[in-house]
Chain A
């Protein structure tokens, strides 16, 4: 940094400051809801000039109405109990890490479900796909979906009508075993059957 204004420069400097400050003070306006004001007024003041820029910090703008479905606000949010595992009369289908292929054991679980569905034509089943906790939540969501659809397709191949089966993935969000080891992970990589 460089030192030293002459006293003449200093006097001029403060005179300028006074003039600029007076000019700015009169321009003060505060508009509610105006955020764009900042761009116009935040120009860097000329170096050396003691100009106080002013920037309105305003209330958050009123939300635009949604184009079509404006859904209820927070107060009206109604949660559906999807966060806890509901017990099933069927055995879960288990999967290997990062895989959605059916094992022989998994196929046997599916066969039991298929027999039941064929004997009970009015029954409806939801296949839930789940993953273990490792890896990204987004990828696991898609992997859980692929597991559920693999099971659905196998049930269809065994004669269950397509319309009787729905699928949903919970990715890694709803482990049945909260542990952080191989045993827990193996249980959590699963397709779970729920009769409706």
Chain B
């Protein structure tokens, strides 16, 4: 086996030398050119070598659903496909690429599912139908209930192969809502997939559970709960459900973001009626003051390089957004006007800050450069309030809450404002969405 691997490596190098054109990276889709050409792609029905025959269509449907969420692809519908994919196509027999090109597909995805007891193996390949070359190929194994997650992972591979930027499929959004279409008195934490599927309730204690924030590894959620009668910040393991107390001092408290290395949790803590911003060691609980002094200081969101912090303070008379360098004093106000600006969220690339501000009597989502220049309004709903923005891990989208009188929902909008969709609705008072890190 060792020999064959080495041989393959040598031949691989040889191949690269012989086929220089295939080795040079090709940028198929420029994601920075909005409204550009879309890539026509076909996702063939999967071969089910063993297991539930329904997987033949259900797995492609997950892939298609993901690809359709971007503005990068045109899906060539299954009913127009001419070639039936067989197991032989996974062991050397080439696809008949002209049969895909003639129906307009410039790329083809094929897949094969193999179920052995409680293990599912899913092999997926992405071909360039014009050149007949393999662009990406992976074999995944997992349990039957992980098949959706497997499909999301390969959808990310597809986006990466075309754009050079990892996709965000399979990421999730944590948020708060009143259960039972808002008839419930309390607020619980929920999680929903970025495709709007797989909604699940995380807390169930009929008190107020607020302000969920993900740790950088996506394993923990920090949030405030009133389940003991007073506000307490918990760190909850998302998969296992175990919890520990995150901040052990002060009165009212709300978590903000984690430091990029996951070692600190930023939080607003009130003592004697004055809210300051602290950072608290996730392990051990040591606390340091980050923003103090007179004024309500809340909603800390650290910069992705860990050196800066954006937060809200009413030190100037009304809540406004400020940026400071950690270790230096005060901070610089970056929101404009005398109104009301809150809920800042720093973009993953570090070049933008999203926040909520009043525009013509309503709340809207804006983005701004960290130095306060280049302000842009992202949401434009004239009839309701758009609040609490949170960036997607690739920085291309914002999730936010939309409210109109008693109605609420969560929406996702591209940062250029061109694309928008409803992520989730049907619960009461939906808010505080937090997008999970990339998967």
Q: Is the CB of B244 within 8 A of A19?
A: no
Binding stretch for chain B, among A54-62, A88-96, A102-110, A113-121: A54-62
Q: Is the CB of B298 within 8 A of A19?
A: no
Known contacts A56-B140, A64-B237: does B268 contact A142 (CB below 8 Å)? yes
In the assembled complex, the Cα of A14 lies from the Cα of B187 at a distance in Å of 58
Chain A residue nearest to B232 (CB atoms) is A71
Query: Chain A residues with Cβ under 8 A from B254's Cβ?
Result: 137-138, 141-142
Asked whether any CB of chain A lies closer than 8 Å to the CB of B32, the reply is no
Interface string of B165-202 (1 = CB under 8 A from A): 00000000000000000000111000000000000001
Q: Is the CB of A57 within 8 A of B146?
A: yes
Chain A contact-residue range equals: 35 or more
Report which of B185, B208, B312 forms a contact with A138, defined as CB distance below 8 A: B312
Interface string of A38-82 (1 = CB under 8 A from B): 000010111111111111111111111111111111100111111
Chain B contact-residue range equals: 35 or more
Q: Is the CB of A77 within 8 A of B252?
A: no
A150 to chain B, nearest CB (A): 6
Query: Chain A residues with Cβ under 8 A from B186's Cβ?
Result: 79, 82-83
Q: Which of B224-246 contact A (CB under 8 A)?
A: 224, 226-231, 234-235, 237, 239-245
Q: Is the CB of A144 within 8 A of B252?
A: yes
B220 to chain A, nearest CB (A): 9
Chain A residue nearest to B92 (CB atoms) is A18
Chain A residue nearest to B21 (CB atoms) is A2
Asked whether any CB of chain B lies closer than 8 Å to the CB of A16, the reply is yes
In the assembled complex, the Cα of A137 lies from the Cα of B298 at a distance in Å of 10
Q: Is the CB of A71 within 8 A of B141?
A: no
Q: Which of B271-315 contact A (CB under 8 A)?
A: 272-275, 283-284, 296, 298-299, 312, 314
Query: Chain B residues with Cβ under 8 A from A20's Cβ?
Result: 8, 11-12
Asked whether any CB of chain A lies closer than 8 Å to the CB of B18, the reply is yes
Query: Chain A residues with Cβ under 8 A from B163's Cβ?
Result: none
Known contacts A57-B150, A137-B210: does B296 contact A142 (CB below 8 Å)? yes
Q: Is the CB of B208 within 8 A of A52?
A: no
Known contacts A20-B8, A22-B4, A150-B273: does B252 contact A136 (CB below 8 Å)? no
In the assembled complex, the Cα of A174 lies from the Cα of B298 at a distance in Å of 20
Asked whether any CB of chain A lies closer than 8 Å to the CB of B204, the reply is yes
Report which of B231, B240, B284 forms a contact with A67, defined as CB distance below 8 A: B284
Query: Chain B residues with Cβ under 8 A from A13's Cβ?
Result: 15, 19
Query: Chain B residues with Cβ under 8 A from A100's Cβ?
Result: 273
Query: Chain A residues with Cβ under 8 A from B7's Cβ?
Result: 19, 23
Report which of B187, B241, B251, B299 forms a contact with A145, defined as CB distance below 8 A: B251
Asked whether any CB of chain A lies closer than 8 Å to the CB of B123, the reply is yes
In the assembled complex, the Cα of A13 lies from the Cα of B307 at a distance in Å of 49
Q: Is the CB of A63 within 8 A of B230?
A: no
In terms of DSSP, what is the predominant structure of the interface of chain B?
A: mixed
Report which of A9, A52, A142 forms a contact with B252, defined as CB distance below 8 A: A142
A140 to chain B, nearest CB (A): 9
B157 to chain A, nearest CB (A): 8
Chain B residue nearest to A148 (CB atoms) is B273
In the assembled complex, the Cα of A188 lies from the Cα of B235 at a distance in Å of 31
Query: Chain A residues with Cβ under 8 A from B91's Cβ?
Result: 21
Asked whether any CB of chain B lies closer than 8 Å to the CB of A195, the reply is no
Q: Is the CB of A55 within 8 A of B140?
A: yes
Asked whether any CB of chain B lies closer than 8 Å to the CB of A143, the reply is yes
Known contacts A64-B237, A142-B252: does B210 contact A80 (CB below 8 Å)? no
Residues of A within 8 A of B (CB): 1-3, 5, 9, 12-14, 16-23, 26-28, 30, 42, 44-74, 77-84, 98, 100, 135-139, 141-146, 148-150, 152-153, 167-171, 173-174, 178, 180
Can you name 12 A-B residue pairings with CB atoms under 8 Å? A23-B5, A46-B23, A47-B23, A49-B12, A49-B15, A57-B150, A66-B243, A66-B244, A98-B318, A144-B252, A153-B273, A170-B208
Known contacts A16-B8, A19-B7, A67-B283, then 15 further A-B pairs from the complex at CB < 8 Å, ordered by chain A residue: A1-B26, A17-B92, A27-B5, A47-B16, A51-B137, A61-B219, A66-B243, A135-B340, A139-B312, A142-B275, A148-B273, A167-B251, A169-B252, A174-B208, A180-B405
Q: Sort A-B residue pairs by CB-CB distance and give the 7 closest, nearest first.
A: A149-B273, A63-B240, A66-B244, A60-B239, A83-B185, A142-B275, A136-B342
